[in-house]
Amino acid sequence: MTVATYHFPFVLFIVTTLTLTSMPVHAATEPPAVGTPAPDFSLMTNAGTQASLMDYRGKWVILYFYPKDFTSGCTLQARNFQRDLAKYEQVNAVILGVSVDSAESHKDFCAKEGLNFTLLSDPEARVSAEYGSVMEYNGAKLSARNTFIIDPEGKIARVFTGVQPSGHSEEVLSTLASLQKH
């Protein structure tokens, strides 16, 4: 056997891995449409309690899905929501972040980043799927970076898909201000 024969499986593994990690990720289903009732849920929070969408009836809800705690884009997005938290509170809005990470991971992420809003654990990606916000990455299901503004009556008021973390909080605040004028 030649040296090349021994290296072929390794080279094949590297090429396959690079191909899979560079493939685009896609959402499994479509997000709920504007004007339709937002799918209700009950998920474990970073504080170790259950929270449902019904708990926030009468408030504007910024429900954002993100792939993973402690990653650069997700951290930037969370920090920006935290930076603007007082602005959201002034307009009767709450921030809820959702990912497939555990409630314990969310607790640690909130502690490390000083986050004072609720993160929800969706380990089976069930709620993420209901919101058309599931993607696959290296064979694992993750929450896709989408955001929903839900009005005080529980209806979808605005959908943001394929969100870019930088500047997103400002975009949401601007859209929320416009929605509240009508």
Catalytic residue ranges: 74
3-state secondary structure of 130: helix
Closest CA to 87 of 179, 152, 172: 172
Alpha helices in 23-163 (DSSP H): 72-83, 85-90, 103-113, 126-130
Q: How far out from the chain centre does Cα 101 lie?
A: 10
Tokens of 71: 């990653």
Residues 42, 50: contact at Cβ < 8 Å? yes
Structural tokens at position 171: 């975009």
Angle between helices 103-113 and 72-83 (to 10 degrees): 60
- Pairing state between β 118-121 and 93-99: parallel
Tokens 């309690």 identify what position? 49
